[in-house]
């Protein structure tokens, strides 16, 4: 029994498929049978022999190689997906639903169309499904995805200049925290450690284990009691830091000056306040003396 790694058309994920006697080369397109039906795929890893235990766990298989008719159908499929996307956007605006449409995907046999969208809260789209099924005459599925999955579907280039890891080879996402950036002595500027999706870079996890073991020459990793911040809190901290005045620019510490010893050669002058108090005492004595003589 042979197994091949096939990259799907939408979203661009790599999945294992059983490949009995069909020879496939690297980057060769093929038609596969998945859980959704017939789909277009591209061979990433040519067929390799596998054990019977592994083959039992895989239910999907390669149906055939791509023919000329299949290539024409795939080209027509892209046009139909663009039309379905416009239809869905029109109905979303008509009903005023708080959702952002990302992409549409038809199965190769056109029996089902899947719409990917993002939303902050839960959306009731039952009426929307009825409208789409009535107009497109196909099975409709609306799938809510996260912002990272949105980048995986759309694709793009990262800050390194290469294709996004999630759109090229990364199969699943792992939790990324600010603790990883601190351990690797990276800048805590959100603009430098965030990806196209607005979340922390997935590549922070690639060498994190080596940094925690101290193999990469990093400083002592923070303890588990260190406070972790999300992107919103970190951005607020950066704004507060930028708007805070730098006291070192306005206040300069002067060197201590020794107090001079008082000069005892000259007589100390009495303050005006002290003279007034003595004059008041004299006046009081004069009044009492006059009253005693009378």
Q: Decide if 273 is inside a domain.
A: no
Domains of the chain: total:
3
Element (DSSP H or E) covering residue 18: strand 14-18
3-state percent helix, strand, coil for the chain, nearest multiple of 5: 40, 20, 40
Is 195 within 8 Å of 163 (Cβ atoms)?
no
Strands 139-144 and 112-118, bridge-based pairing: parallel
In degrees and rounded to multiples of 5, residue 63 shows phi and psi of -85, -50
Q: Decide if 257 is inside a domain.
A: no
Same domain, 121 and 175: no
Give the C-alpha separation, 15 to 4, whole Å. 8
Q: Decide if 83 is inside a domain.
A: yes
Q: Decide if 132 is inside a domain.
A: yes
Same domain, 111 and 174: no
Is 1 within 8 Å of 49 (Cβ atoms)?
yes
Same domain, 10 and 55: yes
pLDDT in tens, the chain (294 residues): 788 888 888 767 788 888 877 888 888 888 888 877 788 888 888 888 888 888 888 888 888 888 888 888 888 888 898 899 999 999 998 888 888 888 888 888 888 888 989 888 888 888 899 989 988 888 998 888 888 888 888 778 888 888 888 877 787 788 888 888 888 888 888 888 888 888 888 888 888 888 888 766 544 444 444 444 555 555 666 665 555 554 444 444 444 544 555 555 545 554 444 455 555 545 555 545 444 443
| Domain extent at residue 41 | 2-66
Sheet of 112-118: strand order equals 100-106, 112-118, 139-144
In degrees and rounded to multiples of 5, residue 260 shows phi and psi of -75, 145
* Residues contacting residue 148 through CB under 8 Å, at least 6 positions apart: 166, 173, 197, 199
Q: Decide if 152 is inside a domain.
A: no
Same domain, 27 and 56: yes
Q: Decide if 29 is inside a domain.
A: yes
Domain boundary among 186, 220, 235: 235
Domain boundary among 145, 161, 184: 145
Domain boundary among 14, 43, 66: 66
Tell me how many degrees the CA angle 28-29-30 measures, rounded to the nearest 5.
120
Give the C-alpha separation, 148 to 243, whole Å. 31
Identify the pLDDT of residue 217: 53
């Amino acid at each position: 029994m042979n197994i091949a790694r096939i990259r799907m058309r939408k979203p661009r994920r790599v999945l294992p498929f059983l490949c009995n006697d069909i020879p496939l080369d690297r980057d060769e397109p093929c038609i596969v049978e998945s859980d959704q039906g017939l789909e277009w795929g591209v061979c990433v890893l040519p067929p390799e022999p596998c054990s019977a235990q592994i083959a039992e766990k895989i239910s999907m298989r390669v149906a055939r190689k791509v023919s000329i008719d299949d290539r024409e159908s795939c080209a027509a499929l892209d046009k139909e997906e663009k039309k379905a996307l416009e239809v869905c956007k029109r109905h979303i605006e008509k009903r005023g639903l708080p959702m952002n449409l990302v992409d549409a995907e038809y199965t190769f046999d056109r029996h089902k169309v899947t719409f990917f969208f993002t939303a902050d809260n839960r959306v009731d789209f039952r009426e929307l499904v009825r409208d789409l099924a009535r107009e497109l005459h196909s099975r409709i599925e609306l799938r809510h995805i996260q912002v990272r999955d949105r980048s995986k579907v759309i694709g793009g280039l990262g800050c390194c200049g290469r294709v996004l890891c999630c759109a090229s080879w990364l199969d699943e996402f792992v939790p990324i925290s600010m603790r990883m950036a601190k351990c690797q002595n990276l800048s805590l500027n959100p603009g430098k450690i965030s990806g196209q999706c607005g979340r922390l870079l997935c590549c922070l996890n690639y060498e994190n284990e080596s940094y925690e073991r101290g193999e990469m020459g990093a400083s002592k990793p923070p303890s588990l009691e260190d406070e972790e911040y999300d992107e919103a809190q970190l951005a607020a901290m950066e704004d507060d830091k930028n708007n805070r005045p730098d006291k070192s620019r306005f206040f300069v510490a002067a060197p201590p000056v020794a107090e001079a010893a008082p000069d005892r050669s000259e007589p100390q002058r009495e303050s005006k306040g002290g003279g007034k108090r003595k004059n008041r005492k004299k006046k009081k004595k004069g009044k009492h003396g006059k009253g005693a003589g009378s």
